[in-house]
């Protein structure tokens, strides 16, 4: 059974800082990797995904994936107060519809 | 664009009561999901349905039943609500069950007295 762990549990950073969120997974056959963001009281919304080893950048957000290390991460450049939210990583194998989520990192960006 | 509607928004029940949560989507997506989110935590999959008439158990299916009445709707039943069971139940849908992004509804917040 897939085990997905996130670190840190919570993080407070000043506006403009670079933020790094981490996710480790246990199933080496995992193929698809997602970051979802959930603002307080709102529905989770997909932020970014990556399907092969390496790096993917979209605006201020970058995902790194290292399948051999069973690790992927989300980096936020120039963090903004509007980035304050619960960040959830999620992992999926190819032959099942199951997406397994971590418990999340609560990010607070102080103005 | 599309939208996922969940009813009711808040649900209060008694211990042992059978409670039903409903979800409708107009994305015309094939796959629908039910997740449970405990306060400030991640999402745990209860049931999912790849297509109409399909039903698959997730990691947290015990104590729940689900029904995919038609392509656009997916219901979840708490078979016997447990006291102090407080969580948000989130419905989601996606085009397929492989690599597609999941779109989430706003949730139903359950309180059991």
Please state the rounded mean pLDDT for residues B99-108: 90
Q: What is the dihedral of CA B65, B66, B67, B70, to 10 degrees?
A: 170
End-to-end CA distance of chain A: 41
- Distance between A27 CA and the closest CA of chain B, angstroms: 16
Q: How confident is the model at residue B69 (pLDDT cuts 50, 70, 90)?
A: confident
Q: Which residues of B touch A86 (CB under 8 A)?
A: 40
Whether A73 shows a pLDDT value over 80: the answer reads yes
Is B31's CB within 8 Å of A34's CB?
no
Q: Could you give the CA distance from residue B112 to residue B79 in angstroms, rounded to a whole number?
A: 13
Tokens of A50: 């990556």
Q: Which pLDDT does position A2 carry in this prediction?
A: 87
pLDDT class for B97, splitting at 50, 70, 90? low
In tens, the pLDDT along A38-72 reads 999 899 999 999 999 999 999 999 999 999 999 99
């Amino acid at each position: 059974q897939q085990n997905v762990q996130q670190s840190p549990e919570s993080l407070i950073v000043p506006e403009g800082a670079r933020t790094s969120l981490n996710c480790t997974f246990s199933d080496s056959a995992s193929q698809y990797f997602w970051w979802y963001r959930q603002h307080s009281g709102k529905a989770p919304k997909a932020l970014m995904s990556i399907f092969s080893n390496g790096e993917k950048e979209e605006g201020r957000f970058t995902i790194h994936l290292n399948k051999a290390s069973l690790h992927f991460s989300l980096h936020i450049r120039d963090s903004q107060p509007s980035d304050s939210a619960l960040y959830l990583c999620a992992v999926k194998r190819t032959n099942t519809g199951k997406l397994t989520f971590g418990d999340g990192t609560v990010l607070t960006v102080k103005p | 664009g599309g939208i996922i509607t969940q009813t009711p928004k808040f649900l209060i029940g008694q211990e042992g009561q059978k409670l039903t949560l409903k979800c409708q989507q107009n994305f015309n997506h094939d796959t629908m999901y039910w997740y449970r989110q405990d306060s400030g935590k991640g999402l745990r999959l209860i049931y999912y349905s790849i297509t109409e008439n399909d039903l698959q158990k997730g990691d947290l299916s015990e104590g729940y039943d689900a029904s995919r009445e038609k392509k656009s709707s997916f219901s979840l039943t708490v078979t016997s609500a447990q006291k102090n069971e407080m969580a948000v139940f989130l419905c989601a849908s996606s085009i397929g069950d492989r690599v597609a992004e999941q779109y989430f509804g706003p949730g139903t917040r359950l309180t059991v007295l």
